[in-house]
Structure 1
Amino acid sequence: MAGCLAVPACVHAAVASTPLPAVLSINLCADQLVMLLADPGQVRALSALSRDEAGSYFLEKAYQFPQADVRAEDIIHRAPDVVITSRFSSRHTLSMLDELGIRVETLDMADSVEAMLGNIRHMGDILQQQRRAADLITSLRTRLAKIDARVALQNALLDEANIDYPRAAVYDANGYTVGANSLRGEAMVRAGWHNVASDMGIETYGVLQLEDMIRLAPQVLIESPYGEGTYSRAQNLTRHPALRKAGLNPLIVTVPSNQTICDGPWLVDVIENLANAREELLRQQTELPIR
């Protein structure tokens, strides 16, 4: 540095020579963002769930990295600069990490699109990959703006024709559904759907009973079975005699579970796919110039 005459050049050289932090993740959702943003050499290990077919979005990539064993000796052996946990990590694990003197960062679960983008920014800060995270966020915002514009144009046509917005509901195991103040709920609204759960006063999470389904008459059921090819409760519900008698035959839209268990950039894919499904429904059921 003694021979560095330009201050910006000196600063750049210092930053470039600083090693990036080595990271160990014990959180499935953090695993995904680590694989997305980190240099491979930064990753000391990922959680065992990173290789879970139903939950891990970057399943194939996860096999490139070791699995973390949440024991003191394993963590000491891997010597991470930072361990990423979740708010559900056990007190025992957190206490152990504290005793080892290892820096701990917690990744919260996002309940909105903005919180999802915030998690990407947070992970970029942890990994010292701020530029990579910022570029990704910019790209996602550009895509979201295009979806918003398309949905707004369609909504204007519906409003002018005095046609209600298409109705939908999330329908998972045991009738589990979501309201507007949830990640999937916001995705539905952003894609232009009227979420019938809001008609029941459900703001975050709740249950849709069969009688609710008949009364609210959603045109689409959005399901996310745990794993490809697993049992479809929504599909089974459409065969129920009471629903048939009421003349209801909702379309089933399936979102892969590895796009709903964790938040991440794939949420924009979910919104885009839901917007496409709505657009197709409008083409089929209205004479509006949808394009």
Structure 2
Amino acid sequence: MRASRLLGLVGGLIACLAAGLAPAPARETAATPGRPSRIVSLNLCADELVLRLADREQVAAVTYLASDPRGSTVAAEAAGVPVTRGLSEEIVALKPDLVVAGAFTTRTTVGLLKRIGFPPLELGVPADFDGVRAQIRQVAAAVGQPQRGDAMVAELDAGLGSVVPAARPLRVLVLRPNAFTVSPGSLGDAIIRAAGLVNVAAEIGRDRTGSVPLEAAALAEADLVVLDDSATGTPSLADALLHHPILEQLRAQGRTLAIPNRFWTCPGPQVAQVVARLAAAARERAR
């Protein structure tokens, strides 16, 4: 069967299901005008903002990733919340009145929702702190909790304001599983610069997130190499490089810093913690 025909059949099925897409009868806790009562989020970063900003009773479902503490900063908040894998039929069956999606995930589902006249709120990827603030406020307004968005932005700003930047611009290289790094012009790059440091990935000549050859990492002579410390519980090829003898030698020299990737994967007040930890490690290294 041709892919276009299959997509058309699936779209037709979803359209049929969508006849009942009108919101389910509101519960007492969701009776506030203009405040959605059945929110579904379709990617991890959407999960984190929705779970932090909306009332628990407003959330109909999040992704299965939200409850995994290895990658999520809201695992506790996600406990007991229904989950989906972002399939169109799952979403329609939940009869949401707000769907929050990411710009690069569940694109088939997003496309089908648009085709049946139910476009989701699509979140971009902030490249700086202004973008983080704007996205927090965007989601807060969408879930009908603007005051919580303002409070979250204030928490972020307080965290950033308390950071004492490094006295001198030490050079930092981030190495994640599979040797992915932080690209120049990204939120991770803004985090590094806010700590008063220099992103070595920019010197290597990368203009987007990509894999860094271990030889390049070794020759870059970074003052600090930031590694993920999120224990997976099982060995993996993606993590194997992070235990290479070269990096073990850097650990022995006190030139590595472990920060869980989950703290700076998505926009939120937790990114201020990364800035603070980078700055503190740089000050210690500079002594």
Same-fold status (TM-score > 0.5): yes
Deviations 1:60-91 (A, max 9, x none): 22122111364555434422111111222444
Q: Measure how far apart 1:115 and its partner are.
A: 1.5
Question: What is the total number of aligned residue pairs between the two structures?
Answer: 251
Match of 1:40 among 56, 59, 63: 56
Alignment partners' CA distance in 2, 1:87 and 1:260: 18
Q: Measure how far apart 1:238 and its partner are.
A: 3.0
Q: Measure how far apart 1:266 and its partner are.
A: 1.1
**Which residue pairs with 2:191 in the alignment?**
187
Match of 2:222 among 215, 218, 222: 218
Q: 5+ residue gaps in structure 2? A: 1-30
Query: In the alignment, is residue 21 of structure 1 matched against residue 36 of structure 2?
Result: yes
Q: Could you tell me whether the CA contact under 8 Å between 1:107 and 1:119 is conserved in 2?
A: yes
Matches within 5 A, 1:114-133: 114-133=130-149
Alignment partners' CA distance in 2, 1:66 and 1:167: 43
Residue 266 of structure 1 aligns to which amino acid in structure 2?
Q
Secondary structure of residue in 1 paired with 2:196: coil
Alignment partners' CA distance in 2, 1:206 and 1:70: 26
Query: In the alignment, is residue 176 of structure 1 matched against residue 205 of structure 2?
Result: no
Deviations 1:237-266 (A, max 9, x none): 4367xx78xxx9452211113223323221
Alignment partners' CA distance in 2, 1:80 and 1:221: 44
Q: Could you tell me whether the CA contact under 8 Å between 2:100 and 2:123 is conserved in 1?
A: yes
Describe the shift of the 1:126–1:71 C-alpha distance in structure 2 as closer, same or farther (beyond 3 A).
same
Describe the shift of the 1:19–1:263 C-alpha distance in structure 2 as closer, same or farther (beyond 3 A).
closer
Matches within 5 A, 1:195-214: 195-214=199-218
Q: Could you tell me whether the CA contact under 8 Å between 2:170 and 2:198 is conserved in 1?
A: yes
Alignment partners' CA distance in 2, 1:79 and 1:194: 47
Describe the shift of the 1:233–1:254 C-alpha distance in structure 2 as closer, same or farther (beyond 3 A).
farther
Q: Could you tell me whether the CA contact under 8 Å between 1:69 and 1:75 is conserved in 2?
A: no
Alignment partners' CA distance in 2, 1:225 and 1:232: 13
Alignment partners' CA distance in 2, 1:255 and 1:187: 13
Alignment partners' CA distance in 2, 1:133 and 1:261: 19
Describe the shift of the 1:232–1:193 C-alpha distance in structure 2 as closer, same or farther (beyond 3 A).
farther
Residue 261 of structure 1 aligns to which amino acid in structure 2?
T
**Which residue pairs with 1:238 in the alignment?**
246
Q: Measure how far apart 1:40 and its partner are.
A: 1.0
Describe the shift of the 1:74–1:205 C-alpha distance in structure 2 as closer, same or farther (beyond 3 A).
closer
Q: Which of the pair has more CA radius of gyration? A: 1
The CA RMSD measured in Å over matched residues stands at 2.7
% identical equivalent positions: 26
Q: Measure how far apart 1:173 and its partner are.
A: 3.3
TM-score, scaled relative to structure 2: 0.76
Q: Could you tell me whether the CA contact under 8 Å between 1:144 and 1:268 is conserved in 2?
A: yes
